[in-house]
Amino acid sequence: MRIFVDDIPVDELGSSFNLNNLTVNLVDRIDVFKGVIPIQLGADALGGGVNIITNKKADSFIDFSYGVGSFTTHRTSLNRSYRFQQSGFTIKAKGFYNYSDNNYKMNNRPVFVNGNEELIDITRFHDQYKSVMGTVGLGMPHITWADELMIEASLATIDQDIQNGIYGNPVGEATEKEESTAEEE
């Protein structure tokens, strides 16, 4: 099974563009395909696919959201489009920021103290997660050879601590980082 964002495979865009990170106001609809996927997606996925279609409203608008959750979780998103009335020239910007400490309490975890295994309650540590994505676009509607011509560029990053040392030897402050860029016409 493959996941797509606006008909582009997520593995081409990077893991910042997955379902966990996209906020509701950035998504217009989600198409689910069982079995073989349509040819317009241009990828092979015999097990089916999910195509996330982002908001492409034609008029000028602004959407903003901010949410707070457990374990110092913050999620914010912005989706902005401005269309000049006379020419139809359009400027778009969208993005999100997700952050969480992931420092929740775990009960009855096995820990070795002086060579003996004990079950104790501990709080997760070194497990922060942060993802950021931004996209800007310029375009024109109703061109003679297309319904709309929009050129977009995106930048996305993920910075994630790796929890370690619970069942094996601690490896220190391990982190995982990813940066990806994409251009779409």
Q: What are phi and psi of 142, to 5 degrees?
A: 50, 55
pLDDT in tens, the chain (185 residues): 788 878 877 776 666 666 666 667 778 888 998 887 887 887 776 778 888 887 777 678 888 889 998 888 998 988 888 989 888 899 999 888 999 988 888 888 887 888 888 898 888 777 788 989 898 999 988 788 888 888 988 888 888 887 665 555 555 566 677 777 766 65
Q: Which of 57, 59, 65, 62 is nearest to 28 (CA)?
A: 57
CA 37 to chain centre: 22
Please name the residues in contact with 117: beta carbons below 8 A apart, sequence gap of 6 or more.
110, 111
Query: From CA 118, how far away is CA 116, in angstroms rounded?
Result: 6
Structural domains counted in the chain: 1
Report the pLDDT value the prediction gives residue 91, as an integer from 0 to 100. Answer: 93
Which residue has 């950021």 as its token pair? 132
* Domain of 104, in residue numbers: 2-184
Looking at residue 153, its amino acid is A
Report the pLDDT value the prediction gives residue 45, as an integer from 0 to 100. Answer: 65
Report the pLDDT value the prediction gives residue 184, as an integer from 0 to 100. Answer: 61
Report the pLDDT value the prediction gives residue 136, as an integer from 0 to 100. Answer: 93
Report the pLDDT value the prediction gives residue 99, as an integer from 0 to 100. Answer: 92
